[in-house]
Structure 1
Amino acid sequence: MAEEDDKRLKKRKKKRLIGADRRRRLLRLKCCVQNYDWGVLGCNSQVARMFLLNSGSYSADPDECYAEFWIGTHKSGPSFVFFGRDYNAAAIGSKPLSLKDWITVDPGAVLGDKVARKWGGDLPFLFKVLSVEKALSIQAHPDKELARALHEAQPSIYKDDNHKPEMALALTGFEALCGFISSKELKGVLSSVPEIVELVQGADAEKFSHDSEQNGKEKVKSLFESIFGQIMSSNKAMVREAICKLKRRLSLEKKKRQLSTKEQLVLRLEAQYPADVGILAAFFLNYVKLKPGEALYLGPNEPHAYISGECIECMATSDNVVRAGLTSKKRDVQALLSMLNYKQGFPEILQGVSLNEYTRKYAPPFDEFEVDRCILPVAASVSFPSVPGPSLFLLMSGKGTIVTGYSEESTFQEGEVLFVPAYMEVSVTAAATELHMYRAGVNNRFFRDL
């Protein structure tokens, strides 16, 4: 009985803390950092800089790799609600109040009714900053059906049951491998990379090299799938020998000719992950170079690997990754091979659609998210209209003033993250320096029938 009374008391405290006037509240968030070995060391990392500014810490560990700055409600790295400049945590008893706790009391009021009906008490998107020094794994993200099956079978590895479409928006020059190359390009690989041909059944390689134009699309796809599968499933000794031969050959040839960009890349990958099959897999994937302000999006079951650079990343709220190369983490090669869509061709690069002279919108074909990039010159202002879903604002640099449609005014400076509930208009004015800001929200296409 005493335990039940205690629960009721905590619930009443929670409601008093959050208050009845929830949809008018602009929230400041304290967010999570992830340290992975592919991240950028110490203070050279944009992730470290954002985390230090956001948390009020004084210095980065020079020996630590800062890889990802997470903003959202995912249980592996939740954000917490803070009130005031002194960053005193809102709390229930001794427990800090997470953004998920805040939302759960009244999801419809905070997220908007349609978002709450679809996704419950979670934000449907996870917002990140990434700093990539060393290549991430060759990987793909499962669709919803496979995500549920993987989570049920191995919950310690696949930590949720959601799919994970995502988008990377470059902050710096950004390199990635994404999607499969065309049949024409694969024919070039099979004619110029003997180390790969040695690992593939001769009949498959020959058919693809000589007959791919005569075969139908399904036959070509089947051959492509077979060749890639044979490479990824080769035993470690054969892979090690093939990569040793490849490295030796390219080291000799670069004395006589300029190596191709893909050849230069695989030598870089070999230096990071010696004898890893992902080095050979790189020949099958498109090599993408983004300029700042360009974006790449990835649907379920698409193979990819980020190589280097820094970016804003947004995705459905999930952390499910199926890996098969360029990693020391658990690999699930057969799961990856079975889930890939084997779609060929260079990926679409988003340039953003202009909303006004300061803001561009990046809207991939997924309901869960879109991202706005806003660069305000000194003293300039921009308005973000009321939308029927939640938003997250991240200030990368500069300082300014933010005013809500309910006449709430606050200063806003680099490293700060704000949660804006549904149906709240906000306007931002830059102070004495240029202001560089990003907004993540539910994709506008989700609300078209409202």
Structure 2
Amino acid sequence: MNTVRPYGWGSRTAIPALLGVKPSGEPQAELWMGAHPGAPSGVNRGHGRLSLDRLIAADPDAELGAATVARFGPALPFLFKVLAAGEPLSVQVHPDLTQARAGYAAEEAAGVPLEARERNYRDANHKPEMLCALEEFTGVCGFRAPLDTAALLEQLGVAGLRPVVEVLRAKPEAEALREALSWALTLDSATVTELVGATRAALLRLAAESTDLAKVVMLRDYAVAADHYPADAGLLSALLLNHVVLRPGDAVYLGAGVPHAYFRGLGVELMANSDNVLRAGLTPKHIDVPELLRVVDFRASNPSAMQPHRVVGHPGEERYPAPTDEFRLSRYRLGAWGSRVLPTDTPQILLCTAGHVSLTDAAGGHLSLAPGESCFVAADSPSIQATSTRGAATIYKATVNL
């Protein structure tokens, strides 16, 4: 029993298709699984529906395990989602733990209301996250090398982009990237509208001329962002970042300070339980340029799709490596009538994304999952046997990384 968030950028068909239900016609952006107070999952253990946050609060050691409580306190430290992007999301960045604690304390001391539009830090936690594609998923992640971005902008041939091309070619990497992002976010509104329009036209022209399919996909994704935000400098921010295409099963990890945006696709997203976001465009929400520039990591990167690796001692588990304690993502692919034993010494959420799965624990408990359905498994639960019941099936498991 999970809540679907109807954010405006959400796909109208992807989550209904996963769940096997008729689309409502409204955006369905995110299916939340976890104990976040904004939309906690519902759990039914035979005594009626209870929200997961209340269930955990009643007995944290049993539900989360003593090690998890000792490390993170009496709350589930991660949030699991199915994310369906029908339109581009904002260009954004998340703070590290030290920055989050300092920012939250400063805004609390200043008396900024928690729900105020200008509030940057809604909690004192960091927000590393991982996105794993269920279908083709595109976006941007991390700064492209300055000289490579300069070459791309020169190909566009837009006169208004020349100043930033000169900066990217002439200055050291970190200085060039900082100055380029600052330039994009401090242009006046009339200049932004004119420049985004000219850049959109150039992107489409270059896409029509190119025979490089990957480049065409990139250029068209940027142009679509301009279509949705024609008076927003977010396109200019996004052009500084690496374009990424994830195939089904590919994942990307997004650490603190890494600017990123999702453009389109369906995937599962796993993150630390935080709402701290600093934005750099493609959004009507608040943009705090000085704070953003303080948090962004101005280093170029070359992100690549991450593949899971098999786990020794856990047959069938394919784990996506993540350098954080708050979460860990694994995948189980079951053949027709295939079966695997899932260890249960940590709190976990199991999500079925394909096929149908029967879950049976050592105490005789039984639960069936269809695509898009999930369950919470307490740390003190008996071991679970997962069996596919209607052909091949896929399960994703979210848990802590202890």
TM-score normalised per structure 2 = 0.88
**Counterpart check, 1:104 vs 2:57:** yes
What residue number does 1:66 align with? 28
Aligned pairs (5 A) from 1:185-204: 185-189=148-152, 191-195=154-158, 198=161, 200=163
**Counterpart check, 1:333 vs 2:289:** yes
**Counterpart check, 1:301 vs 2:257:** yes
Give me the whole-angstrom Cα distance separating, in 2, the residues matched to 1:329 and 1:134: 16
Relative to 1, partners in 2 of residues 1:131 and 1:252: Cα closer, same or farther, differing over 3 Å? closer
Offset of residue 305 of structure 1: 0.3
What residue number does 2:146 align with? 183
Picking from 155, 162, 167, the partner of 2:114 is 155
What residue number does 2:48 align with? 89
What residue number does 1:141 align with? 94
Relative to 1, partners in 2 of residues 1:134 and 1:256: Cα closer, same or farther, differing over 3 Å? closer
What residue number does 1:4 align with? none
2:146–2:176 CA contact under 8 A, matched in 1? no
List gaps (5 residues or longer) in structure 1. 1-29, 91-96, 213-218
Offset of residue 438 of structure 1: 1.1
1:391–1:439 CA contact under 8 A, matched in 2? yes
Aligned pairs (5 A) from 1:214-363: 219-251=172-204, 260-261=215-216, 262-355=218-311, 358-363=316-321
What residue number does 1:398 align with? 355
What residue number does 2:340 align with? 382
The sequence identity of aligned pairs, in percent, is: 32
2:153–2:161 CA contact under 8 A, matched in 1? no
Aligned residues: 386
Q: CA deviation digits over 1:106-161, x for unaligned, max 9? A: 21222111210222221111000011110000111122233342463451154332
1:136–1:306 CA contact under 8 A, matched in 2? yes
1:190–1:196 CA contact under 8 A, matched in 2? no
Give me the whole-angstrom Cα distance separating, in 1, the residues matched to 2:351 and 2:336: 18
2:35–2:53 CA contact under 8 A, matched in 1? yes
Give me the CA root mean square deviation.
2.5
Give me the whole-angstrom Cα distance separating, in 1, the residues matched to 2:349 and 2:206: 50
1:66 alignment partner AA? Q
Offset of residue 199 of structure 1: 6.8
2:3–2:32 CA contact under 8 A, matched in 1? yes
Offset of residue 309 of structure 1: 0.4
Offset of residue 275 of structure 1: 2.5
What residue number does 1:40 align with? 11
Relative to 1, partners in 2 of residues 1:195 and 1:110: Cα closer, same or farther, differing over 3 Å? same
What residue number does 1:6 align with? none
TM-score normalised per structure 1 = 0.79
Give me the whole-angstrom Cα distance separating, in 2, the residues matched to 1:104 and 1:343: 41
Give me the whole-angstrom Cα distance separating, in 2, the residues matched to 1:309 and 1:233: 30
List gaps (5 residues or longer) in structure 2. none
Give me the whole-angstrom Cα distance separating, in 1, the residues matched to 2:376 and 2:236: 43
Offset of residue 423 of structure 1: 4.5
Give me the whole-angstrom Cα distance separating, in 2, the residues matched to 1:395 and 1:227: 43
Relative to 1, partners in 2 of residues 1:251 and 1:430: Cα closer, same or farther, differing over 3 Å? closer
1:33–1:67 CA contact under 8 A, matched in 2? yes
Give me the whole-angstrom Cα distance separating, in 1, the residues matched to 2:258 and 2:246: 18
